[in-house]
Amino acid sequence: MTSIVSTSALEKRFGGIVATQHVDLDIPEGELRCIIGPNGAGKSTLFALLCGIHAPDSGHIFLKDRDITALPSFRRVRLGLGLTFQTNRAFHDLTVRQNLEAPIRLPRGGRSSTSEERYQYALSTFGLDTTSDVPARELPHHRLQWLEIAMVLAGGPEVLLLDEPTAGLSPEETLQTARVLRHLNDDGLTIIVVEHDIAFVREVAERVTVLHQGAIFAEGTVADITAHDDVRRIYLGQA
Ligand SMILES: Nc1ncnc2c1ncn2[C@@H]1O[C@H](COP(=O)(O)OP(=O)(O)OP(=O)(O)O)[C@@H](O)[C@H]1O
Ligand SMILES: [Mg+2]
């Protein structure tokens, strides 16, 4: 299978701390991959490297065989990488509709569809249709979080990268988020999720990558991973 996102020998240090080491990640097109690991395992650092927030000390990152290691975030976005982080925050004084219209005007690299189609897709995916004229500041926390993902979808990405999309959500909202991500993945979108919540991971993932001390410790199906004694020892035991 063709990989859409991959890394080779990725390394990142902060002073004497090795946050990422020997990471060879390979995400096939169309997969929904969860990246998990105990506190300090290097999940957020790997996410930041993929987004272009941090530059690696060595190694490479590829998007569809193109080396994007040295590209800034906005160029990665143009090539089809859908990034959710601080700069994608919704504008609180704008309505849901206005927030979704902003990213649609941006140059994009991803899937082919008209801006109207992308707008409708982004709006309906998380059921935001009912709140399209509501200012973002009046949305409950989970809807604001969904709006921020929808803003990324409005850009028409080929790969969606999420860091703990269920942070602060109730179990029911977490489940709903999982269902929506599954649906998006069934529609062909490749999704990479860094996540802590094991219930969520069980709900969405096909394959899981476990990080430990900056390196890939194990990889497999959710069933493999949760049955893996060493993974239970380093991760599930602490959860
Ligand atoms: N900006 C930074 N400066 C210095 N050290 C950092 C920085 N970011 C991360 N680290 C260190 O790198 C290691 C990996 O941290 P990272 O935040 O990537 O882990 P994580 O898996 O996301 O952890 P958590 O589950 O707590 O979010 C840790 O030892 C952390 O202290
Ligand atoms: Mg983290």
Alpha carbon of 43 to ligand 2 centroid (Å): 5
**pLDDT number for residue 178:** 93
Tokens of 95: 């309505």
Number of the ligand 1 atom closest to the C-alpha atom of 164:
27
17 lines ligand 1 (CB under 6 A): yes
Task: Lay out the sheet containing 81-83: strands in order across.
Answer: 81-83, 159-163, 190-194, 32-36, 207-212, 215-221
**Contact (CB, 8 A) for 29 and 187:** no
Q: How confident is the model at residue 140, as a pLDDT?
A: 93
Pick the residue whose CA is nearest to atom 24 on ligand 1: 39
Nearest to 105 by CA among 92, 91, 123, 118: 118
Predicted TM-score of the model (pTM): 0.91
Please give the pLDDT value at position 84.
79
- Ligand 1 centroid to 179 CA: how many Å? 29
What atom in ligand 1 is closest to the CA of residue 37? 21
Per the CB < 8 A criterion, the answer to whether 96 and 133 are in contact is yes
Write down the pLDDT at residue 119.
Answer: 81
Class of residue 186 by CB neighbours under 10 A (exposed 0-12, middle 13-18, buried 19+): exposed
| Residue located nearest, by CA, to atom 31 of ligand 1 | 40
- In the numeric block, the tokens 């060493």 are attached to 230
Q: Indicate which atom in ligand 1 lies nearest the CA of residue 54.
A: 1
Nearest to 58 by CA among 16, 7, 4: 7
SS3 for 65-130 is CEECCCCCHHHHHHCCEEECCHHHCCCCCCEHHHHHHHHHCCCCCCCCCCHHHHHHHHHHHCCHHH
Which-ligand-closest: CA of 37?
1
- The per-residue pLDDT for 129 is 86
**Is 44 near ligand 1, meaning CB less than 6 Å away?**
yes
Contact 28, 6 (CB under 8 A): no
Tell me which residue has its CA closest to atom 11 in ligand 1: 19
List the chain domain ranges.
Answer: 1-75+159-239, 81-157
Structure tokens belonging to residue 89: 């925050």
Cα–ligand 2 centroid distance for 44 (angstroms): 4
Report, at the CATH architecture level, how domain 1-75+159-239 is classified. 3-Layer(aba) Sandwich (3.40)
pLDDT tens digits along 150-195: 999 888 899 999 999 998 899 999 999 999 999 999 989 999 999 9
Report which bound ligand comes closest to the CA of 40. Answer: 1
Report the relative pairing of strands 66-67 and 58-63 from DSSP bridges: antiparallel
Pocket test residue of 17, 57, 213, 217 for ligand 1, highest count of atoms within 8 A of CB:
17
Stretches where the chain sits below pLDDT 50 are 107, 109, 239
Q: What is the pLDDT of residue 234?
A: 84
Give the up-direction half-sphere exposure of residue 218: CA atoms within 13 A in the CB hemisphere: 20
For position 239, what pLDDT does the model report? 44
Give the number of whichever ligand sits closest to the CA of residue 215: 1
Distance, CA 95 to ligand 2 centroid (Å)? 30
- Cα separations (Å) of 191 from 41, 82, 91, 125, 229? 20, 9, 24, 15, 27
Name the residue of 43, 46, 54 to mutate for ligand 1: max ligand atoms within 8 A of Cβ: 43
Q: What pLDDT is attached to residue 206?
A: 82
- How far apart are the C-alpha atoms of 69 and 79, rounded to whole Å? 13
